[in-house]
Structure 1
Amino acid sequence: MQAFQFSNKLLAGFMAFAALGLLAGLYAGLIRIGYLTEIPINITGGLHGPLMINAFLGTLISLERAAALEKRWTLSGPFLMAASVIFMLFVDMQYGAWLFTAGSLAVSATLLYICRIQPKIYHFIMAMGGISLFIGNLLFVLGAPVFEIVIWWMGFPVLTIFGERLELNRIMRPPKKAQWAFVGLIAIWVFGTLLMHFTRTHGWHLVMITTFATALWLIKYDIARKTIKSVQWTKYSAWCLLSGYGWLVLTGIFGLIYGLPAAGPVYDALLHMVFVGFVFSMIFAHASVIIPSLSGKIIPWNRYFYLPLLLLHGSLIIRIAGDFLGFYAIRSIGSWVNVLAILMFLGGVLVQILRNRSL
């Protein structure tokens, strides 16, 4: 019993570093849009992407995998990712970048190990997500501009989630042809990512076509279509999942129409459709399972959680409207409320855990 408690405390400690990475990343994002000023601990607008992808998502996802395997060496991934947070914020960005690159290599090794012991297609898809992160990070430390590598960073959460949803949707028993179609879409997605280094436009179009098609596949075959009729966390998760898939559909449509510029409002809109609209919807959807599995703390249900979800989507619509219409003040308001929605969700989780402890 004592060892179990220690394990939960250790995992909760890593989660604290992920939370630090998230908070710092959100702050950097507000600096990036010109709303906050830089502070003396190295938080700059340029850190927004690395902090959100590596310090937050990298630490959290690698920790989840390490906890599932219960092998000490797999903690090297979250350890290096967590250490990169400290180095990025308090020491030097370059050292932090090499740490999260090493961390992503360790994460990839963990995911490939899972493929070896359980060679299932969904595990291979998740492993491709880890490898995508490593490639993006390696290119980053070698000096590649962010607009060239962001597609690799995007692949980490997107492919991880695709693999997880394929695994969880086995209960729906999609037809074999549908399952192979899903695998084919993932293969084309990865090929499109590679192709972007040779012909950016054609590669991006392939990625967007497969993003659109994969989202439709998930809407059709995901168990969320059934669980949306359930109650409490199960119903809430279904709403999060389906709304997240909706953002992927929109990403595919707008991505095909506008392409992917190297910077600017369209670039901002497309990336945040994925990273906020899709990825954070998935985080909201799975938080009631992931946090208890890592911390040992149950999150009691409360209808309050619909409020940050609605704010997340509503503010993202405002942000994207500001991007496409050129109303940058509106975009800034949407960005602020994006951050507020995420903080409200995290605050709600913390309050519910503390209230449950006091009962």
Structure 2
Amino acid sequence: MNSRRAIGVLLAAGVAAALLAGVAGGLARVGIVLASPGDAGWIGRAALGHAALMICAFMGTVIGIERAVAARHRLAWFAPIASAASGACLLAGASDAAGLLLAVAGVAFVGVNVMLVRRQKAAHTALLLVSALAWLAGNVLFAAGASGGAVLPWWFAFLVVTIAAERLEMTRLMRRRPVALVSLQAVLGLMLAGAATSGPWPLAGGLLFGAALVALAGWLVVFDIARRTVRAAGLPRYMAVCLLGGYGWLAIGGLCWMATAAGLPARDAALHAIGLGFIVSMMMGHAPVILPAIARIKLLFGPIFYLPLAALHGSLLLRLVAGATDLRWRADGALFNALALVLFAATAVGAAIAWRRRHGGRLASTRTP
């Protein structure tokens, strides 16, 4: 096995481990502790590091891999390697080392995005650089031991701005009014201002950050091509359904974020409406495009893909609506959230096998909405 393939295998293992540990830690936080052979102490550590595992060790590594593939430079792989290693440190109880690795990953990731901006000066590459800077800010605060209220807005800004930038890139050929880009930049600027002020002034920062999320959801519904491709068929319609559903959850998450800042008990709804309803919906929608690009794995699309998507949204409704007044329903909803992720993974594996059987492993182009 050559060094490139070995790194790929290790990164894939790190991504899978971070996701599984993050899910187990999330379940533990609502009172569901999975059986574990041997030392079960890692479950407690996964519960404490749930956000860092899911946002940084899992999503940060996946996005880092995607960006490294685009950069086509050896040093670009340093960011996902460091973020994946941070997950192992979190599970081992070495939180200081994990924080240092995430800070290093953030610096390296900013460098990769600077490289990409120099290659292609465009609005979407500039926004991707902004998202990298947001991740760096959150990682540095995490390494310094800052509170979750100061760190999480930066981490969510990293993911949300990344998605906004990628949607801007995928719809760059659409005819849009000049106000579209200006208004997007204004909304994202307000979001970053909310993230920056959430630490020292939680009320003002939380209200501003949540309002920006709601405004961004509105911008995406109005200007994204998904509202057109939802009338298409096949994969374009599926992707559009994932996107539009995600935009609805983003708006709900923004409202709940503001409610939390005002002192109402809506924190679980705010975090998971964004983290599951918005971000995971985006992942499900883009998986048929992203997997061929970064892992050369083709998926044979079929109506079965709607099943895990429906399971995700249904379980999230159970968790956030019924679970708002009954902790048992919240725990059940969280368990069904995890099962929806497992179902999607099984669907993707089955679709990859089906593609290889039908096409003999040949690659083909994938259209995006």
Offset of 1:166 from its aligned partner? 1.3
Out of 22, 27, 30, the position equivalent to 2:27 is 30
SS across alignment from 2:42? coil
Alignment of 1:248-263 (within 5 A): 248-259=250-261
Q: Gapped runs of 5+ residues in structure 1?
A: none
Out of 205, 212, 216, the position equivalent to 1:214 is 216
**Is the CA contact 2:150–2:195 (under 8 Å) kept in the aligned structure 1?**
no
Out of 134, 139, 142, the position equivalent to 1:140 is 142
Out of 166, 169, 176, the position equivalent to 1:167 is 169
Change (3 A) 1:10 1:140: closer
Question: Which residue pairs with 1:283 in the alignment?
Answer: 283
> What's the CA shift string for 1:298-354, capped at 9, x where partnerless?
110121111110111111111111443x20000011101111111110111112212
Question: Which residue pairs with 1:18 in the alignment?
Answer: 15
Question: Which residue pairs with 2:332 in the alignment?
Answer: 333
**Is the CA contact 1:12–1:295 (under 8 Å) kept in the aligned structure 2?**
no
Question: Which residue pairs with 1:348 in the alignment?
Answer: 347
Change (3 A) 1:231 1:154: same
Alignment of 1:256-271 (within 5 A): 256-259=258-261, 265-271=265-271
Offset of 1:70 from its aligned partner? 0.7
Cα distance in 2 for residues equivalent to 1:173 and 1:273: 31
Q: Does residue 321 of the first structure (1) align with residue 321 of the second (2)?
A: yes
Offset of 1:18 from its aligned partner? 1.3
SS across alignment from 1:43? helix
Q: Which moved more, 1:315-324 or 1:23-32?
A: 315-324
Cα distance in 2 for residues equivalent to 1:192 and 1:33: 28
SS across alignment from 1:301? coil
Q: Does residue 274 of the first structure (1) align with residue 274 of the second (2)?
A: yes
> What's the CA shift string for 1:204-246, capped at 9, x where partnerless?
2121222111111110111111111222222111000000001
Alignment of 1:106-145 (within 5 A): 106-145=108-147
TM-score, length basis structure 1: 0.92
Change (3 A) 1:130 1:151: same
Cα distance in 1 for residues equivalent to 2:139 and 2:233: 40
Change (3 A) 1:183 1:199: same
Q: Which moved more, 1:301-310 or 1:34-43?
A: 34-43
Change (3 A) 1:7 1:93: same
Cα distance in 2 for residues equivalent to 1:332 and 1:147: 23
Change (3 A) 1:200 1:135: same
> What's the CA shift string for 1:156-202, capped at 9, x where partnerless?
11111111111212122211112111111111111121122332211
SS across alignment from 1:300? coil
SS across alignment from 1:298? coil
**Is the CA contact 1:15–1:59 (under 8 Å) kept in the aligned structure 2?**
no
Q: CA RMSD in A?
A: 2.2
SS across alignment from 2:301? coil
Q: Which moved more, 1:336-345 or 1:125-134?
A: 125-134
> What's the CA shift string for 1:248-297, capped at 9, x where partnerless?
12123333344365xx9511110101101100011001100111111212
> What's the CA shift string for 1:52-87, capped at 9, x where partnerless?
011100100010000011111100011111222222
Alignment of 1:22-101 (within 5 A): 22-36=19-33, 39-40=39-40, 42-44=42-44, 45-90=47-92, 92-101=94-103
Cα distance in 2 for residues equivalent to 1:87 and 1:195: 29
Change (3 A) 1:299 1:59: same
Cα distance in 2 for residues equivalent to 1:162 and 1:192: 17
Change (3 A) 1:9 1:67: farther
Cα distance in 1 for residues equivalent to 2:262 and 2:71: 38
TM-score, length basis structure 2: 0.89
Offset of 1:9 from its aligned partner? 7.6
Cα distance in 1 for residues equivalent to 2:334 and 2:135: 25
Offset of 1:8 from its aligned partner? 7.3
Q: Which moved more, 1:276-285 or 1:161-170?
A: 161-170
**Is the CA contact 1:205–1:256 (under 8 Å) kept in the aligned structure 2?**
yes
Offset of 1:10 from its aligned partner? 5.1
Q: Which moved more, 1:275-284 or 1:139-148?
A: 139-148
Cα distance in 2 for residues equivalent to 1:10 and 1:252: 38
Identity %: 31
Cα distance in 2 for residues equivalent to 1:114 and 1:129: 13
Cα distance in 2 for residues equivalent to 1:323 and 1:150: 22
Question: Which residue pairs with 2:182 in the alignment?
Answer: 180
